[in-house]
C-alpha cells in the first residue's frame, strides 16, 4: 500500500508539472572542464564540487547524499517527510554516469 501511494504521489506530481524535464545540463569539474548529464539524466555537484550524475532526475536527500531516479528520464521528488522518492526507485548518483563533451 505504501508503494502504491508513493507511486500515485509521483504520478500526480508528474501530471501537475508544466515543465518538461529533459536534459539537466552541465557543470564544471574542479579542473574547469565541463561535465554533462547523460541524455534525459540528472546532474548535481557533490560536497567536494565534483559533478555526479544519474539516469533520471537527481536530488539531495536529508543526509546530503545525492540520489537519482533509476529510470532513464525518471523523476525524483521529496515526500511529506522530506524523503526522496523516485520513479522506478532511487539509486546513488555516480561520476561514472556523467559524460564529458569533446
Annotated domain spans of the chain = 2-97
Q: What angle do CA 19, 5, 68 make, to 5 degrees?
A: 50
Cβ neighbours, 10 Å, residue 81: 7
| pLDDT-based confidence at residue 95 (cuts at 50, 70, 90) | very high
Query: In the predicted model, what is the mean pLDDT of the chain?
Result: 84
Beta bridge partners of 44: 52
| pLDDT-based confidence at residue 74 (cuts at 50, 70, 90) | very high
| pLDDT beyond 90 at 67 | yes
| pLDDT beyond 80 at 25 | yes
| pLDDT-based confidence at residue 7 (cuts at 50, 70, 90) | very low
First to last CA, the chain: 47
Residue 2, phi then psi, degrees to nearest 5: -60, -40
Q: Rounded CA gap, 8 and 46, in Å?
A: 30
Q: Rounded CA gap, 35 and 78, in Å?
A: 26
Beta bridge partners of 36: 26, 99
Amino acid at each position: 500500500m505504501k508503494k502504491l501511494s508513493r507511486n500515485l504521489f509521483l504520478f500526480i506530481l508528474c501530471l501537475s508539472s508544466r515543465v518538461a524535464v529533459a536534459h539537466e545540463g552541465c557543470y564544471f569539474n574542479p579542473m574547469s572542464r565541463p561535465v554533462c548529464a547523460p541524455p534525459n539524466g540528472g546532474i548535481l555537484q557533490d560536497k567536494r564540487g565534483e559533478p555526479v550524475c544519474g539516469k533520471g532526475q537527481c536530488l539531495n536527500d536529508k543526509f546530503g547524499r545525492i540520489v537519482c531516479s533509476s529510470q532513464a528520464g525518471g523523476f525524483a521528488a521529496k515526500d511529506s517527510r522530506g524523503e526522496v522518492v523516485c520513479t522506478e526507485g532511487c539509486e546513488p548518483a555516480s561520476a561514472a554516469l556523467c559524460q564529458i563533451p569533446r
